Amino acid sequence: MHRQLSIAVERWPIAGSFTIARGSKTEAVVVVATIAEGPHAGRGECVPYPRYGETPETVAAAIETVRTLVEAGGSREDLRAAMAAGAARNALDCALVDLEAKAGGTTAAAVFGMGGLEPLVTAYTLSLGTPEAMRAAAEAARDRPLLKIKLGGAGDVERLRAVRAGAPESRIIVDANEGWSVDGWGAMMEACLEARVDLVEQPFPADADGVLADLPHPVPVCADESAHTAADIPRLAALYEAVNIKLDKAGGLTEAMRMAKAADDAGLAIMAGCMVATSLAMAPALILAQTARFVDLDGPLLLARDRSPGLRYDGSTVFPPDPALWG
């Protein structure tokens, strides 16, 4: 049966703004691929990642290049051979998983040999800001069990102390987004220990993270921008204690699950991460997140509005998707 591929660029407003070390944004721009076959249709959502030179236009164009392959019945493995890892392949891969589940009368979890999905507790992200602003944000989120705070340079010790003061009981993940220096490592590690931080994400630029081999890690360190596919895991295992697996980097759930197995085999803890996006992007990641030590799938919580139907969040607990959304 012939398939039909459609591509849409959508804009979803963020509640306020979202700020990391590389800049701020006020909306999430996503690309959605829909693959229809007979009465069934599968969808996948991706977020073009400027850090890797992706834009909505380049991602949509990349999806277009494999239209013939997809519409002729190409598989997820065919896509993996034809496309590089990245947002474009993610949208298509997730759409094919969704289509396979719907056409087969099963679930996306079953496609990967899994049973029912369990609700999970996700981190809640606090944007980079002044210590005063971050303390206020932490106070507003102090009932959430796990906070992820964006840092990235001068003033980070003060920001971290302010967040801990605002949310004295929450567990904390620190995300530096490649913004720290080797010279400041000792001071930041001391501050992280003082603040009882569970994990530090990507302190140094991806092309300069080899220094981690020679630095003490009193707090576990997690690769993010350095981690893309399963092929990266052997190098990362010598430098980090954990890896943040994001479907947009891996190029889909299929590669993300391979990556998770490789990470587990290498003794790395797994974080299931996300970009700021709607529930359609989070739903596939919930499959990956079932065995993750850290879950960071709060994208819809940062939006002014989500798609309907969306995932159900009860505080920081996120529940498995309804098949009408995905999977």
What is the arrangement of strands in the sheet containing 23-37, beginning at the earlier edge strand? 3-20, 23-37, 40-46
Give me the CATH topology for the region 3-111: Enolase-like; domain 1 (3.30.390)
Q: What Rg, from alpha-carbon coordinates, does the chain have?
A: 19
Local confidence band at 1 (pLDDT 50, 70, 90 cut-offs): low
Give me the CATH topology for the region 120-318: TIM Barrel (3.20.20)
**CA gap 11, 8 in Å, rounded:** 10
The dihedrals phi and psi of 293, each to the nearest 5 degrees, come to -75, -30
pLDDT tens-digit readout, 57-114: 999 999 999 999 999 999 999 999 999 999 999 999 999 999 999 999 999 999 999 9
Of 166, 156, 169, 161, nearest to 129 by C-alpha is: 156
Domain ranges of the chain: 3-111, 120-318
Residues with catalytic function: 150, 246
Contact of 303 with 12, CB cutoff 8 Å: yes
Contact of 197 with 217, CB cutoff 8 Å: no
pLDDT tens-digit readout, 250-266: 999 999 999 999 999 99
